Amino acid sequence: MLLVLFAVEDIIGEKLERLRGSPDSMQEKIHLPPDRYFGPDPQQKAIAMELYSQAKDLPLVCPHGHVDPRLFADPDCSFGTPTELLIIPDHYVFRMLYSQGIPLESLGIPRLDGGPVEKDHRKIWQIFAENFYLFRGTPTGMWLTHELHEVFGVQEKLTGESAQRIYDQIASCLARPEFRPRALFDRFRIEVLTTTDAATDTLEHHQRIRATWDRRVIPCFRPDGVVNIDTPGWRENVQRLSAVSGIEVTSYRALVRALEERRRFFKEMGATSTDHGVLEPYTEELSEQEAEAIFARAMRGEASAADARRFTGHMLMESARMSIEDGLVMQIHPGSFRNHNLPLYERFGPDKGADIPIATEFTRNLRPLLNKYGNDTRLTLILFMLDESTLSRELAPLAGHYPALKLGPPWWFHDSLNGMMRFRELVTETAGLYNTVGFNDDTRAFPSIPARHDLARRVDANWLAGLVVRGVVDIYDAHEMMQDCAYRLAKKAYKL
């Protein structure tokens, strides 16, 4: 014992050498210790391991995300090349490369004008590998490393030197039937996977899935394109809504009816939730006449920014009313300034890593909605945030009071080792664990799903172990809470 404290530096030095091998060997091999992401205290780590081991093999409940349902509609669908799988569709990956001066064209990101971009996927992969050090300490780095190692069996670290060997290895995996999306769905032990779908979507892929496969892939109803009247292409969206709903949307009243009809259809196709992306969570109840007047102005292309804000705020309230009636869980994702980089947007379109958060206000903005519907236990309203300063200030106090309100997990930039830990620490003391809803992977990158859930489960195990060693909760409670975090809360909140 005295040894521990007096001579710790000498002894540990030796020990560390063995633990980690020499720096040179480290340079070459992926390092994924079984106790990764846990704090170093031995007692806490042992408890974290115990809690994690109990949760790690639970089925994956994925109640919110952006995986393309097409992947599962055709049993023979494949992921394409490693570059098509891991780089081109993933703005988490290419935004970091872009931030260091690497043009999106050289990464094969398609241009809207069809202009030339790199077509050689091995060349793109090489650039990615040479710059993979940029992801040190980032969740993208953690997920990708997990994915390479656990899904594709890669042993080497990804560097310029190893790039092509690893490309070969992944490519040879992807050619095999057990790496088809449907096969991976089972290998990943996914219990349910929710996609996100426009109100105007025909859900044809979901229909194919239901017809040909007995796994649970369900849509989520996202009406942004038809209720946010300042969306580019809003009028076309409204026409499409008319077409798919069979209701001629020429008035506000018809819009509401068409939305109700679409929700009915989505529900029939398995949906249990809706989702609403807004710049700010402003809510306001308009009179029927005001709503009709704004709708008419929007149809004439004459709606102002203030009109758009009010109309969206009103439609959030309408959505809450519909949720009370049809039982769909309502989600709000506010606070992202979309397409911040206008020249880039004009060249490459949306979702290119240039959506930037803004400060968000919930207390005053949500009051009309919460005053009208927040006391109704039939409503489940799940709030997400990109502004962590609201967690202890607004969101936890709101969720710790209103029966209808629950807090979604840390979103986007905050879905990370530190972000998830901060969320637990800032929220739990005021809102409790039971006003939160477990984990969402919220990803487009299907093969990253196990890595994301694994990271979340590890963070929660470590957080709970920290509570146990501090005597905040006992081990019995921690075991219960672990099950809640990893599985039960998501299933219950989303009615799955």
Rule CB under 8 A: choose which of 201, 275, 387, 441 binds a copy of itself: 387
Stretch that binds a copy of itself, among 76-84, 249-257, 301-309, 426-434 (CB under 8 A): 426-434
What contacts 289, CB < 8 A, 6 or more positions away?
Answer: none
Residue 279 binds to a copy of itself (criterion: CB under 8 A): no
Residue 230 binds to a copy of itself (criterion: CB under 8 A): no
Q: Which of residues 351-370 bind a copy of itself (CB under 8 A)?
A: 353-359, 361, 363-364, 367, 370
Helix (H, G, I), strand (E, B) or coil at 477: helix
The DSSP 8-state label assigned to residue 411 in this structure reads P
DSSP percent split of the chain into helix, strand, coil, nearest 5: 55, 10, 35
Nearer to a copy of itself (CB atom), residue 201 or residue 394:
394
Rule CB under 8 A: choose which of 231, 239, 341, 483 binds a copy of itself: 341
What contacts 39, CB < 8 A, 6 or more positions away?
Answer: 45, 48, 462, 465, 466
Residue 132 burial class via C-beta count within 10 angstroms: exposed 0-12, middle 13-18, buried 19 and up: buried
Nearer to a copy of itself (CB atom), residue 2 or residue 211:
2
What is the Cα Rg of the chain in Å? 24
The DSSP 8-state label assigned to residue 150 in this structure reads I
Residue 42 binds to a copy of itself (criterion: CB under 8 A): yes
Q: Which of residues 84-103 bind a copy of itself (CB under 8 A)?
A: 95-96, 98-101
Residue 397 binds to a copy of itself (criterion: CB under 8 A): yes
Nearer to a copy of itself (CB atom), residue 135 or residue 439:
135
Sign of the dihedral through C-alpha 136, 353, 412, 491? negative
Rule CB under 8 A: choose which of 206, 414, 452, 457 binds a copy of itself: 414
Say how far apart CA 395 and CA 415 lie, in whole Å: 17
Rule CB under 8 A: choose which of 72, 128, 135, 282 binds a copy of itself: 135
Rule CB under 8 A: choose which of 114, 115, 232, 377 binds a copy of itself: 377
The CA-atom distances, in angstroms, between 462 and each of 20, 410, 420 are 22, 16, 11
The CA-atom distances, in angstroms, between 152 and each of 82, 146, 163, 168 are 11, 9, 14, 11
Residue 389 binds to a copy of itself (criterion: CB under 8 A): yes
What are the phi and psi torsion angles at 217 (to 5°)?
-120, 115
Rule CB under 8 A: choose which of 11, 112, 183, 243 binds a copy of itself: 11
Contact status, residue 155 vs residue 29, Cβ threshold 8 Å: yes
Q: Which of residues 442-481 bind a copy of itself (CB under 8 A)?
A: 466-477, 479-481
Taking the complex as a whole, how short is the minimal distance between the CB of residue 361 and a copy of itself, in angstroms? 7
Both tokens of 131, joined, read: 């710059």
Taking the complex as a whole, how short is the minimal distance between the CB of residue 4 and a copy of itself, in angstroms? 5
Contact status, residue 346 vs residue 112, Cβ threshold 8 Å: yes
Both tokens of 411, joined, read: 């979103």
Q: How many residues bind a copy of itself (CB under 8 A)?
A: 121
Nearer to a copy of itself (CB atom), residue 96 or residue 255:
96
Residue 327 binds to a copy of itself (criterion: CB under 8 A): no
Rule CB under 8 A: choose which of 280, 419, 444, 491 binds a copy of itself: 419
Residue 115 binds to a copy of itself (criterion: CB under 8 A): no
Rule CB under 8 A: choose which of 39, 59, 160, 327 binds a copy of itself: 39
